[in-house]
Structure 1
Amino acid sequence: MSETMSQEQLEAVMGLIINAGNAKSDAMEAIQAAKVGDFALAQEKLTAADQALVEAHHSQTGLLTEEASGNPMTVTLLAVHSQDHLMTSITFNDMAKEVVDLYKRLGNE
């Protein structure tokens, strides 16, 4: 087993970090849009966040498939960080959807 990640593994890890970061940013922008009553933009940002998470999951699935095929990755701080980033972004995205919904309800009262 190699002591470093392959180029493909590094690209997958970076894909996780980049796409998870984009998802979290889009989710935050959705909250900010909802806060000022722009629910169309909020929905657009939530949709973008969901798509970024799909892309991040593709990267993660590639890594899992490689490991299941007998090509495990050396666990590095960068790999752990990418997984942490993904899980945080998923949670933040879920919460953003709830916050946007709350703003919609408050606006309708």
Structure 2
Amino acid sequence: MKEEKKIDLEEMALEIITNVGTARSMYVEAVEAAKTGNFEEAHNLVAEGEKIFVNGHHAHADLVNAKIGVEELQYMFLVMHAEDQLMSAETLKIVCDELIDMLEAKAKQAN
């Protein structure tokens, strides 16, 4: 039973990392699209990334609410990495939104 808890904790952390890592990559792609003037694609990538980010956020909430015993402490570094990825993706999304807005406004002024 305790081994099952460890596996679940590891799986939850990896689910966070996978989802928010994918979202973060989409935010970077969105900025690249905006830099080339493809603002519709940029906004679509941000929206798609945000949906994936929410999955990671839900997995994080499940992890926070999980009862963790002493045996599971060995997985805490993985959990800390997952949380770092979560916060990093959230920050990048904010910066991404701002960059796209700035590039879009600049493109409209140029026309």
Fold shared, TM-score > 0.5 on shorter chain: yes
Task: Write out per-residue CA displacement over residues 4-42 of structure 1, whole angstroms, 9 at most, x where no aligned residue.
Answer: x62211111001101111111000000000001111110
Question: Which residue matches 1:40?
Answer: 40
Structure 1 position 76, deviation (Å):
2.3
Question: Which residue matches 2:103?
Answer: 103
Question: Which residue matches 2:22?
Answer: 22
Task: Write out per-residue CA displacement over residues 59-98 of structure 1, whole angstroms, 9 at most, x where no aligned residue.
Answer: 10111222xxxx2252522111111111011000110000
| TM-score of the two chains, using structure 1 as the length reference | 0.87
Tell me the percent identity.
Answer: 26
Detail structure 1 runs of 4+ shifted over 4 Å in the superposition. Answer: none
In 1, Cα distance between equivalents of 2:83 and 2:27: 18
Q: How does 1:1-109 map to 2 (within 5 A)?
A: 6-66=6-66, 71-72=67-68, 73-74=72-73, 76-109=76-109
- The change in CA–CA distance for 1:76 and 1:64 in structure 2 (over 3 A counts) is closer
Amino acid at match of 2:14: M
Bigger share in helix: 2
SS in 2 for 1:86: helix
Amino acid at match of 1:98: E
Give the RMSD, CA atoms, in angstroms: 1.8
| TM-score of the two chains, using structure 2 as the length reference | 0.86
- For structure 1, the 5+ residue unaligned runs are none
User: How many equivalent pairs are there?
Assistant: 104
Amino acid at match of 1:50: E
